Each structure stands twice: as structure tokens, then as C-alpha cells.
Amino acid sequence: MSDPRIAGAGVTNFGKHPERTGRDLFAEAGLEALDAAGVDPEDVESLYYGNFMGELAEHQGHQGPLMAEAIGLDVPATRVEAACASAGAAIREAVKTLRNGESEVVVVGGAERMTNIGTAAATDALAIAADDLYEVRAGMTFPGAYALMARSYFDQYGGSHEDLAHIAVKNHEHALVNEHAQIRKEITVEDALEAPTIADPLGLYDSCPITDGAAAAVLTTEEYAAEHDLDAPVAVTGTGQGGDNLALQDRPHLAQTPAADKAAEEAYADAGIGPDDVDVAEVHDCFTIAEVLAIESLGLYERGEGISAARDGKTTRHGDRPVNLSGGLKAKGHPVGATGVAQLATIAWVLDGSHPRADAVPDGTVGVAHNAGGTVASTTVHVMEVKE
């Protein structure tokens, strides 16, 4: 069983695109990915597409075939929905399809259009990824849910809002050179601490923005890449997925994310590596506390130690294991259905040396992408390695 190769990727600029539709955004990313891969579109055999709120934001369901048409493909196309982990789940399906010999070339991607419905409606739409009966109807929003998780973490392990502020500062600094990032603005710890409170202890700079955008990648079998002399040195060597109870009150821990633990364990075992082998990571930092929970679930830090990693400089581009060189969801932006594939693209570009922050890990050969849905009730983890 060979490891699928990332032949090419495309990512739109993330941000506000009020004049563009989801299909328009995905067409840009998908065509860019096909062009970068140098693959004949007629060789593509299937499409897996991540999207979460198309029915609410664009009154459009059944988006799989719509997006295949947008990039000129006549192939079986499946929309995958796992809340904010939709694109990560789509990657997993693409990897399995290539490994089992069903296809040799697959396009995987995702898109989301959110800003057109406004902040209040987008927040309400995102909330349906929580338990409607026992959370949403009681007034729970995701800022509130992650604030509860942050408070629980502080109570159990220690830490402060100032520790979280260092994560925001780091990710904003990483995004400064990312041409696709929504927020290319440097901030200070004081800026983060003095920003308006969203849900105590989380403030404005602890929260990712509402974003429009799309991302796509072309994955092929190792054999196809070799036969067609593709420049595809980065392979997806491990894939994992985990789940948890949807509602926070049904979980034994608010300061841990077992779904991510399970996904990471499965992905590492699949790739035959461990956390110590990881050189760089892109993680799902929808809120700053989410980055802490992610890097601990990935085994990059022990429980209670992830909170100080950014403050200590360990996860910055100058640190020993950079996290979110793209700027993360926090600064790059979070078009929900596209995020997981955007993470995949970032890791591939960092490892092949083409990303503007690749100099942070000049000898890096192993990267990991962590994509989470809801309050981490769904999580995918993918390991990528340089395989010349």
C-alpha cells in the first residue's frame, strides 16, 4: 500500500468576498490545484468536497457535483460534512480511495461562504454544530463554549489570558507574509489583553474571524506520480479520525479533547511515527485555547504544558517546533469547509520549501495537520512526510 502524493494545491485569498459565490471561490482554488499538479483533468476519477453551511449561507445543498462542474470535472463527487472538520474528513476519504486502488487521481477540497449573511447569522449557523436540544436552545455559542473550556483548563492546569494572548501574537506574526491570510496585522500582547471581551476569558483577538474562501488539492497514488514524472515530494503517510460526545456537559473533561487524542494516535500509528518526529504543525485554533488543547492532544506537549509554549517561544517560527506558520485560523481565517485542505496545503508547501515561512523548518521532513469540528467532537489528523 503506497502513500498518496500531494501533486498540487490551490488556496484563494481568505477574507470577505461578498460579490463571489461558493462555486466561484472553489473554481479558483480547484483550477489552481490542477494547474499546479500538472495533471490531465481527464485523469481525475473522483472529488471529495468539504462544506458545512451551504444550505444556510447560500441556500444550496448537493454541492459535490456543483463543485465538480465548476472545475470542469465529470466524476463522482461527494460532499463531506463534519462541521469545521469537513475538509479534514474529505481528505481522509480521498486517502482511503487512493489506498484501496479505487482511484489513481483524486481532487479534494472545500469552500465556505459566510460573510454574506452577517456576523449574527453566521454565529447562529455555526452553532448548529453543537447540540441544538441541550446547548443551542439554552443560548450556547461557540465563543461561550470555548470560554468554558478555557476556564476549565485554567482551573485544572493553570495559565492565564496572557498566555493565550501570546498565541494570538504569534499567529498574527506568522500571517504577515501569507498572501492568502485574512488578517495580516501585527499585534502585541497588550493589544490582545485590552481588546473587547467576547466570552470571558476570551477576547476579540482570541477568536478567529468569519471568513469566505476555498482550498483544493490534487492527490495521486505514488505509482501515478512516478509514471507521470510529477513533482510531488510530499506524501500523506498517516490518517486518523476521532469522535466525542457532541455536548460539552456529556463529557468527563472540558480541558481535554479525546477525539483529537484518538485521531492523533491513529494517524501516528498509520504513518509509523511518533510525536517526537514532528517538525511542524498546523492546528485548529478557532480560539486560542483550542491551539493549546490541540498541541497537547497531538502529544507535542504534556497536559498542562501547552499553555506556555507560545509565551516561551517554542511554537513560534523561531522555536524548535513551529505551530501554525500560516497564521492559523486565528489570522489566516477560517472558511469552515475549506480549512482542513488549507492546512494540508500549508504543510506541503512548508515541507517542499515553497511557503514563505518554510525557512522556519529548513530541514523539516514531517508535518501534521489537525482539523476539529464543533467543540472537538469530530477531529481528523493527517501526517505528511517528504518522500523523494
Q: How is residue 294 written as a grid cell?
A: 490541540
The per-residue pLDDT for 2 is: 84
Architecture of the domain made up of 5-117+209-386 = 3-Layer(aba) Sandwich (3.40)
Residues in the chain: 388
The per-residue pLDDT for 301 is: 98
Phi/psi of residue 173, nearest 5 degrees: -65, -40
Q: Is 208 a catalytic residue?
A: no
Marked catalytic residue, from 84, 161, 174, 180? 84
pLDDT tens, 193-207? Answer: 999 999 999 999 999
Burial track 43-60 (b if 16+ CB lie within 10 A, e otherwise): ebbbbbbbbbbbebbbee
Give the residue from 160, 275, 241 showing the smallest Cα distance to 206: 160
Q: How is residue 353 written as a grid cell?
A: 520549501
The per-residue pLDDT for 126 is: 94
Under-70 pLDDT residues of the chain:
1
The per-residue pLDDT for 1 is: 65
The per-residue pLDDT for 50 is: 98
HSE-up (13 A, CA, CB side) for residue 203: 20
Euclidean distance between CA atoms 61 and 155, whole angstroms? 42
DSSP code at position 12? P
Phi/psi of residue 199, nearest 5 degrees: -155, 105
Q: Is 370 a catalytic residue?
A: no
Marked catalytic residue, from 166, 172, 284, 334? 334
For the chain, give the mean pLDDT: 97
